[in-house]
Chains A and B, each alone.
Chain A
Amino acid sequence: MQGISAKIISRAKELMRDGTVNKVVGWKAGEFFYDCEPYVFETEESLDGLVYNRFCAANLSKYMIKNSIATGEDSLKVLVLLKPCDTYSFNQLLTEHRIVRENVYILGVGCEGMCDIDRIRENGFKGITGIGENADGKTLTVRTLYGDGEVVIDDVLVNKCEFCKGKAHKIYDELISDNEDEGPRGDRFAGVRDIEAMSPGERFAFWKGELSKCIRCNACRNACPACSCRKCVFDNNASGIASKANTDSFEEKMFHIIRAFHVAGRCTDCGECSRVCPQGIPLHLFNRKYIKDINEFYGDYAAGEEAGQRGPLISYTEGDIEPAAVSDKGGK
């Protein structure tokens, strides 16, 4: 991935120089090798700070809501770097009229899977100071204050990458990629089936354990490209349900369940919710459950596959499943 990083920088600079774009939304190198920050580059020189490595998991699509809407500038053309999975979110936002397409230049970038620094830490590494990709292409050397070690890349992938949707960009103006599309990786619904197989009591206990860790920081909501309401009902003090409290009561579970329902049919399974959760709650499982149900009820559907598509939940056909199907499933 280091190779295309240099190509990305030089191409972005070129596009800025020739006036095609005047801003670049990408990832900026941080304090450490892994804390790449979403960043708006406004000058050619600043692009030297752009980075594209194994730790650029953040999905930049949602930033294009605010960055594609001109505010007082005569001409706005913003380049955004999108990985294949990010393009689904971008398309979905286009479908929802939240991004001004003509102000955006999409530079699609190839991806070999992103690593999760927390999962590397879970492998027992502390004081991580550096990382090196080994020649075998399958392992990383982890350098730490307490000695070096090795991890298998597949063991430390971000959850969304463990179940990669495929290496094909669904929308772009230009591509920089060395990756062949090999289709989806793994069975992303396996985790959902495990939960469906639980008894209602086990299922309740599982989610109670996970959701009672919630600190109600709203990172999941704020990172979620499908959560793009200008004012969230939970932030609206006049709504009567605004709440900042984390409680072990059922209310906390309701927040996550309501949110999952609200994004059902629009969630592209980009995995940001689980990636950003400081408590490691597997929130993506809610979304995958609804995606799986939608697929089973209405036929396979992928939100964000194309811009402008009408999802099954907002298009009626006479063949639509009857609500009774839910109770026939025995609560699963």
Chain B
Amino acid sequence: MSLKKIALNELNKLFAALSLTKKVYLPVEKAGQYDYAPWEAGVEYRPEVLHTVKSAKSVFFPQSEDLVRYRRSGLSLNIECEAPEDEDFVIFGVHACDVKGFEVLDRVFLSDPADTYYKARREHGAVISVMCGRPEETCFCGTFGIDAEKPGGDIQSWISGETLYMEALTAKGEEIFSQLGGIVADAGEDDAKAVEETLSGHREIMKKLPLSSLTTEGFGRDADLLGLFNRPEWKELSASCLGCGTCTYVCPTCQCYDIREYNTGKDIRRFRVWDSCMYSDFTMMAHGSPRPDQMQRFRQRFMHKLKYYPDNYDGAFSCVGCGRCLQKCPVSLNIAKVMKKLGGAK
């Protein structure tokens, strides 16, 4: 595995070179907040921004996307399906937590029958990850066995001083390097040392994170499903939940969606849109909602992350410890509080 390098202030050359043939998504500022958006001249990568508001999943699984359009002309009905993604793109600057988030979505959307739209984006998208520079106090990826030092993807990279060091992990990653040509240089032995120093500094910080001792004990495949489901503490844990969708919409692993239709006046568009189990009409059926009160909806979200998903996918959890819900819940409810309250050997 060979290490490549590029100065941080040269990154725009890298984005420009890649942009010749493909879109490059990265965290872009809009009115004070960062979300993934295509690079264009003038956009700078800001390594000190730890998290985008919406996670990187929005590139592969957009918040809303049209699927089908219906239009009536005379006595005939035209039905047009949206074409799946057919152009290559790159997503730059993803941290380990969000990269693991892609794997959580993959298990759902790529298992048979695969989701056509998601699959096309995954096939056409390449991920360039960057190790998080300064984790926040709300970070707890280690709880789910994620190694922040090896952020993964097609190319993984580390920032040391004013330089970005990159390593290809897949054929897609190698292909990107070949496209970049002389824009990235081969790194030497001193560079490897610089990376190692960055890593050891990072390791020290990870040990000091306030949630570093949070464990998944009491959850997962071996946990007692009904025991967990019937715990009386769900009531107090959820008592102040507003029932908004913030936690689900900032989450890198929430994958529930709704399919709806919209009359534009000219045609009917059937679109897919992120749904939230916090909402009163989530999984609404003819008889009504299977979860009529907020406690049940709240429980659903955490049971899904910590029990149902592991049951369905070989024990893997569907939380990556990014901490977005800890930072964004309007009333400070979050998965860490749930895990502390309900976890342990009970």
| A interface list, Cβ under 8 A from B | 30-32, 35-40, 58, 63, 118, 126-129, 144-146, 209-210, 212-213, 215-219, 221-223, 231, 235, 237, 242-247, 272, 275-276, 278-281
Contacts and interface: CB of A to CB of B under 8 A. Distances in A.
Contacts of B209: 127, 145
A187 B32 CA distance: 23
A37 B333 contact: yes
Contact of A32 (B32, B64, B137, B208): B137
- Ranked 6 nearest A-B pairs via Cβ: A276-B330, A35-B332, A219-B244, A38-B240, A245-B64, A222-B242
B31 A213 contact: yes
A215 B54 contact: yes
Interface size band for B: 35 or more
B272 to A, nearest CB: 9
Contacts, number: 142
B68 interface: no
B236 interface: yes
Contacts of B30: 209, 212-213
Given A126-B136, A129-B137, A279-B33, A35 B246 contact: no
Contacts of A213: 30-31, 33, 35, 53
A212 B64 CA distance: 13
B63 A246 contact: yes
A235 B340 CA distance: 33
A210 to B, nearest CB: 5
Nearest to A206: B31
A37 to B, nearest CB: 4
19 contacts: A30-B337, A31-B340, A36-B332, A37-B332, A39-B239, A129-B210, A146-B134, A212-B30, A215-B53, A215-B63, A215-B249, A218-B245, A219-B242, A244-B275, A246-B63, A276-B246, A278-B249, A278-B328, A281-B31
Given A145-B205, A146-B134, A244-B273, A219 B330 contact: yes
B134 A126 contact: yes
B63 A58 contact: no
Nearest to A279: B33
Contacts of A275: 330
Nearest to B294: A66
Interface of B: 30-33, 35, 48, 50, 53-54, 63-64, 134-138, 205, 208-211, 236, 239-240, 242-246, 248-250, 258, 260, 262, 271, 273-276, 279-281, 284, 326-328, 330-334, 336-337, 340
B244 A223 contact: yes
Contacts of B246: 215, 217, 219, 276, 278
Contacts of A243: 260, 262
B274 to A, nearest CB: 7
A258 to B, nearest CB: 17
Given A210-B31, A215-B63, 4 more contacts: A35-B332, A58-B331, A129-B210, A235-B280
A215 B328 CA distance: 13
B127 to A, nearest CB: 22
B249 A209 contact: no
A37 B329 CA distance: 10
Contact of A223 (B32, B137, B211, B330): B330
**Most chain B CB within a 10 A radius of its CB, from A129, A146, A223, A245:** A245
B289 to A, nearest CB: 11
Residue of B35, B50, B209, B281 ringed by the most chain A CB atoms within 10 A: B281
Given A235-B279, A278-B250, A32 B210 contact: yes
Q: Identify which of A37, A39, A213, A243 gathers the most chain B CB atoms within 10 Å of its CB.
A: A37
Contacts of B136: 126-128
A159 to B, nearest CB: 13
Contacts of A237: 281, 284
Contacts of B262: 243, 245
